[in-house]
A and B are shown apart, each in its own frame.
Chain A
Amino acid sequence: MIRNIITLTVNDLAIAFKNKTIYLILFIPLFVFLSLQFVDQKNEELRTIQIGLIQNVEYSPVIIQSLKAADTVFVVSWLATEEEGRRWLKEKKIDGFLLKSEKEPRSLELLVLEKASFQTIAIVEGFSALQIAVEGKSKNWLSDIKSLRDSGIQRQTLPTWILMLVLLVGFIVIPAQIAEEKEKKLLLGLLQTPVRECEWLVAKLFLGMILIHLAVIFLHLLGKFEVENSLSYCAFIGIGSFCFSSFGIFLGFLCRTQASARTLGVLFYLPLLLPSALSDFSQKLHSFAPVLPSYQFYGPIKAILLEGGGVSNFPLEWIYLCFVGLITSLFSYLLLKKRWLM
């Protein structure tokens, strides 16, 4: 009995090696370790904090002098109006700006893009250290922190869930379906009809885009999430679904079986999801994430959903996603023409 169990276990392990499941076992801990390395950064590696001050606001001279003196930590930008400050904040030219507190005239209010972000933590930590160095323990300079994104936590996390859905269809659902069609020779069967390769490819793109749209609509209906700038939102969901469906089709073509397609899908899914979704909490990830197509989708979606941004603010992101979608579609077409791994 034990011998049989050992034989079967060894056989199962051999299958796990053969269908590349073992890569996941090695890859996931490695990926988590690397991500933690990015997130867990040392203080000396912190970049300077871009802080804004409004020209017609009377700040305490001690605070201004302290900020100027701590020029290795804070870089001060003078802003004409509060409106300009909000615009700079949205454009990420500054990390936050200071206003006179309405409740306590001797204190300041900090306005940031998002309360739960590494920039806000860095500003608060920096101010606290500065205040202790200048005045010792006394009343905090900052009496309140306000966020430009004043929506609830459900709304705040919505862009992450949208990104997760889009990538899930793109990297898990689509590659497995392509590989299944290849594995069962269904694709070759269809190519024995007058269907052109490009027609098959476009149909698969439509499948991915429809699935993504359905998932997003369903999530919005369930959560009763409303979108102000719905046209811009649809434009980015559309281009994102095109980009990641196309990427998924390409991955499907690189695999012979469903099992390997699922493994390869996860290998792409996690590195595209996590750095983008965690970029608000880590400076390193924030500087690395923009090279990923997922971040080029996540950033605009976040801005549209939380800050009322529009598609016109993100032309480069739109072009980038379009380019990735087109290039992966072209590769898929060439592999299909060559009957790659069929």
Chain B
Amino acid sequence: MLIEVRDLAKIYNGKRGLLQTSFAVEKGELIAIVGHNGAGKSTLLKMLSSWIIPDSGEVLVDGINLENRIALVRKIGFVPETPNLFDFFSVEYNFKLFARLFQIPFSRIEEILKEFNLLTYRHNKVQVLSKGLKQRVSIGRSLLADPPVLLFDEPTSGLDFEMTKEVYRLLKSTHSSGKTILFTSHRPEEIKTLATRIMLLHQGSVVFDGQPQEYFQSKIYENLYA
């Protein structure tokens, strides 16, 4: 078991958030976390990546507790919905900064730039890049330390058709390289195309956890989205 979540909870001002949630993730899974706005999808991912401190519960990633952030950051990469890059600096600077902090050799940056077709943009300031390219840089940066688990919060939000396809390709290739991926999404076609497992959150609780086929045929899907 790669990730084990036990009774994880976070409530904002007495309402919304994530109620006590438990689940486990096996190595190599590609899990879509779905649900309406405010269902608790982003809260869940942000807690797993230490962006939000949970009210209660426990998370183990490859045996490492969530409270041990310094060790955990090498296990989990997080790609937020809006890329949080130092946009007044170049693409290369952003990679170098994180490589230094992770104490990773700069040769890894060359690999990532090549893998994500970013070589031509390496000296461009991030602020002049399109949202799709920024997302690509953001995904590349999260992979610098080669973490076994990747979390994507709405990875295709606000992207055009071509860029969406590009992100799908990156997700698939990352997954096929042996990574475990959890991503949140609103798009049924995205979920169908990518996910090997679906978790449906509704009002802060997991109300469905199973295979994509089961999900799209279930009453719960019909009731929520039909």
Contact = CB atoms under 8 A, between A and B. Distances in A.
B69 to A, nearest CB: 7
Contact of A184 (B69, B84, B102, B103): B84
A337 B67 CA distance: 11
B82 interface: yes
With a 10 A CB-CB cut-off, give which of A189, A196, A339 has the most chain B CB atoms.
A189
A47 interface: no
Q: Which 9 A-B pairs have the closest CB atoms?
A: A185-B84, A193-B101, A189-B84, A194-B70, A188-B51, A192-B73, A195-B101, A339-B53, A186-B84
A342 interface: yes
B224 to A, nearest CB: 30
14 contacts: A186-B86, A188-B84, A192-B49, A192-B50, A192-B73, A192-B78, A192-B142, A194-B70, A194-B101, A195-B101, A196-B70, A339-B52, A339-B53, A342-B51
Contact of B51 (A186, A193, A195, A339): A339
Q: Is the interface of A mostly helix, strand, loop or mixed?
A: loop
Q: Is the interface of B mostly helix, strand, loop or mixed?
A: loop
A187 B225 CA distance: 37
A151 to B, nearest CB: 43
Nearest to B142: A192
B213 to A, nearest CB: 34
Contacts of B69: 191
Given A338-B53, A342-B51, A190 B70 contact: no
Contacts of B98: 193
A340 to B, nearest CB: 10
A186 to B, nearest CB: 6
B108 interface: no
Contacts of A339: 51-53
A341 to B, nearest CB: 12
Interface residues of B, number: 24
Nearest to B49: A192
Interface in A180-213: 184-186, 188-196
A192 B53 CA distance: 13
Nearest to B138: A189
A185 B141 CA distance: 15
B28 interface: no
Contact of B74 (A185, A194, A195): A194
A339 B54 CA distance: 11
A59 B86 CA distance: 73
With a 10 A CB-CB cut-off, give which of A184, A194, A338 has the most chain B CB atoms.
A194
Contacts of B101: 190, 193-195
B51 A194 contact: no
Contacts of A338: 53
Interface string B73-86: 11011101010111
Interface in B167-203: none
A24 to B, nearest CB: 27
Given A184-B84, A185-B82, A186-B86, 14 more contacts: A184-B87, A185-B51, A186-B84, A188-B51, A189-B85, A191-B51, A192-B50, A192-B77, A192-B78, A193-B98, A193-B145, A194-B73, A339-B53, A342-B51
